[in-house]
Amino acid sequence: MDGCHQRIPLEGAFRNSSGCAISGIIDRSGKRFTAREAITSISVMHDRSNGLGGGFAGYGIYPEYKDYTALHIFYYSSEAKRACETFLEEHFDLINLSKIPTKKHPAITDVPLIWRYFVTALPTKLSFSQLDEDEYTARCVIRINREIEGAYVFSSGKDMGVFKAVGFPEDVGEFYMLDEYEGYSWTVHGRYPTNTPGWWGGSHPFSLLSYSVVHNGEISSYDANRRYIEMYGYACTLQTDTEVITYMIDYLHRRMGLTLEEVSHVLAAPFWSTIEQKEPKEREEYSYLRNTFASMLITGPFSIILGFKGGLMALNDRLKLRSLVAAEKAGRVYFASEEAAIRVIEPEPDRLWYPSGGKAVIVTLDSMQEGEEHGHQLSVSAL
Amino acid sequence: MTHITAGFMEYEALNKAVRSMEDDQITIEQANGQRYIGSALMDKHLFIKGTAGNALGCFLDGGTITVYGNGQDATGDTMNDGKIVIHGSCGDGTGYAMRGGCIYIRDSSGYRSGIHMKAYQEKQPLLIIGDRAGSFLGEYQAGGTIIVLGRNQDGRPPVGYFCGTGMHGGTMYLRCDTLPVSLPKQVSARDAVDSDKQVLSCLLDEYCTIFSFDKQMLLASHFFVLQANSAAPYRMLYTHV
């Protein structure tokens, strides 16, 4: 992290007991709704955060630009903006650009410049690169974050967007006026940083392309995971453990083509003693994934909600060291760190359950075909 | 009976209000996850509607808490005496480091129920779960009693993985026909005999009355008794993962 993005001393000189809150809602029918329920849900868990980070991811929010990549960027200086825009013009067609609308909020201060660009890869550059469009975009995002001082791309998906800041999440929602966006799914995070500074880029969700992750916990295996994923061209630039989860999911799901369920068996692989108890076919699959992607096992406590195009996935560490509750009501599915955060927006769910450790709950839109959540329709047996 | 509406009240204000009330029968309406409700309560009876927050009844010291709904995490954390009755389920860490009193859960409880439960002389904590418990039930249990009744489980083990890991005291009773697979070596299991059923009959009395369960029907089923295996003391789980 460079020195120019923050004018006040960074928090992080002390450690607190861990907190954090996450919540997520999806309407399987694809019906779009504002972030209001996500804001209400997270506000009930106010005490799990400490005002040093909050953020949202909304999916289906840019239907009028759904074929373009929406880049959300923090700038800490006008030089950073100039340098970044020069880079963008060299690599993309800029279809539309504007400041992201915000509303002054007394609790949200030290605001960087926050810009949004709808872009599409320059055809000549893209074909010259011999990459597919996603890979091209991902590499550009990583390059900006690594090389342009004071510029941070914090959202780079299609028909989705991340909105985050330093502050309590309910205030962040008001700051970005999220009542004015409608999506078919929302995730939200309230941060209580324990090991790294609270700064704008370090707030959740962490996003690359259309993947976004909100996370409660801390990753003991962070450095092992980081060293491994950086071999594949990713750069961990945001000073917090969660970003490595996003990159590992991008790698496993988009690039390796694993299903999300298989991804969950890599990230939260069961103990060998548990694998031994499984039926032969399952045992083989679990063993294969755990051996092949050994360096991508996440140890330490975590509960995450992954947002992706057309769905949400909730996942706990295999020991379930962080809480996670799920509920369902008439086509809507809810996830949250606490039951109260679900009941405040849906008092009478049809079903409420506590997902087991390491057992992913994957919810997709009804309109999605079976298996459409695969990166490339490649199953483990084909690897 | 005094009523108080929790709504979006801060937990500190709510708990202060409850403590300052003279009435010893208090109903809290519309709880929305407020933490530490009934903390260290000695002599009152709280009735809670809505969702009680984390660490409900922590350090409870003689009071009674009845929840018409679910509890969240760490219900009865380090409670010393008194009673918590849940007409629903609980999240993780129920009865965390419990050292006295009893927790009655009608339905299920999450991971690590009864973790670090302990006992000393007249302090004999009791945790009873109606349906099933998550993994790590009774982790590091050092004393006291945990009963899982396995209702609605069709005789299957009503627990997850790693039941009794690190157990070195106390007793667990599981109502099921088969043992959980791969109990850790430091746990010994045997079939319940008549003398065990007599003990169980006493322990289940109040629980079955509160939830209107048929005690005789439950007792007629097979139970396992799990205790620390002194021949194979607890070593380490995490050294060969």
* Interchain contact A47–B (C-beta under 8 A): yes
Q: B32, B67, B109: which to substitute to probe chain A, counting the most A Cβ within 10 Å?
A: B32
- Nearest Cβ partner for A47 among B11, B136, B241: B11
Q: CA–CA distance from B25 to each of B13, B174, B209 (Å)?
A: 18, 34, 21
Residue B105 pairs with which residues in a beta bridge?
A: B86, B129
Contact list in A for residue B53 (CB cut-off 8 A) is 338, 340
CA–CA dist B203, B194 (Å, integer):
14
Mind telling me how many Å the CA of B127 is from chain A's nearest CA? Answer: 20
* Interchain contact A273–B (C-beta under 8 A): yes
- Nearest Cβ partner for B72 among A271, A274, A340: A340
Q: Cα–chain-centroid distance for residue A350?
A: 28
Q: What is the pLDDT of residue A194?
A: 78
CA–CA dist A318, A59 (Å, integer):
28
Quick one: three-class SS letters along chain B? CEEEECCCCCHHHHHHHHHHCCCCEEEEEEEECCCCCCCCCCCCEEEEEEECCCCCCCCCEEEEEEEECCCCCCCCCCCCEEEEEECCCCCCCCCCCCCCCEEEECCCECCCCCCCCCCECCECCEEEECCCECCCCCCCCEEEEEEECCCCCCCCCCCCCCCCCCCCEEEEEEECCCCCCCCCCCEEEEECCHHHHHHHHHHHHHHHHHHCCCHHHHHCCCEEEEEECCCCCCCCCHHHC
Give pLDDT < 50 ranges for chain B.
Answer: 239-241
CA–CA dist B9, A367 (Å, integer):
41
* Interchain contact A42–B (C-beta under 8 A): no
CA–CA dist A210, A134 (Å, integer):
10
CB atoms within 10 A of CB B235: 11
CA–CA dist A49, A39 (Å, integer):
14
Buried-state track B11-40, b at ≥16 Cβ within 10 A, e below 16: beebbeebeeeeeeebbbebbbbbbbbbbb
Mind telling me how many Å the CA of B175 is from chain A's nearest CA? Answer: 21
pLDDT tens for A143-162 read 999 999 999 999 999 999 99
CB–CB contacts below 8 A, A to B? 65
Edge-to-edge strands, sheet with A361-364: A206-208, A211-217, A302-308, A311-316, A361-364
Contact list in A for residue B92 (CB cut-off 8 A) is 320, 323, 354
* Interchain contact B48–A (C-beta under 8 A): no
Structural class in CATH, domain A22-370 = alpha beta
Q: What is the pLDDT of residue B186?
A: 86
pLDDT tens for A177-207 read 999 999 999 999 999 887 777 889 999 999 9
A6 pLDDT above the threshold of 90 = no
Chain length of chain B:
241
A368 pLDDT band (50/70/90 cuts)? Answer: confident
Domain ranges (residues) in chain A: 22-370
Question: What is the set of active-site residues of A?
Answer: 20
Q: A298, A317, A339: which to substitute to probe chain B, counting the most B Cβ within 10 Å?
A: A339
The verdict on a CB contact (< 8 Å) between B92 and A320 is yes
The verdict on a CB contact (< 8 Å) between A319 and B136 is yes
Q: What is the pLDDT of residue B83?
A: 98
CA–CA dist B39, B70 (Å, integer):
17
The residue of chain A nearest to residue B109, with distances taken between CA atoms, is A354
The verdict on a CB contact (< 8 Å) between A339 and B111 is no
CA–CA dist A265, A257 (Å, integer):
14
Q: What is the pLDDT of residue A195?
A: 76
The verdict on a CB contact (< 8 Å) between B92 and A357 is no
* Interchain contact B239–A (C-beta under 8 A): no
pLDDT tens for A337-362 read 999 999 999 999 999 999 999 999 99
Q: Are B157 and B222 in contact (CB under 8 A)?
A: no
- Nearest Cβ partner for A277 among B53, B111, B181: B181
Q: What angle do CA A90, A91, A97 make, to 5 degrees?
A: 85
pLDDT tens for A214-267 read 999 989 999 999 999 999 999 998 878 899 999 999 999 999 999 999 999 999
Q: In the numeric block, which tokens belong to residue A289? A: 């994934």
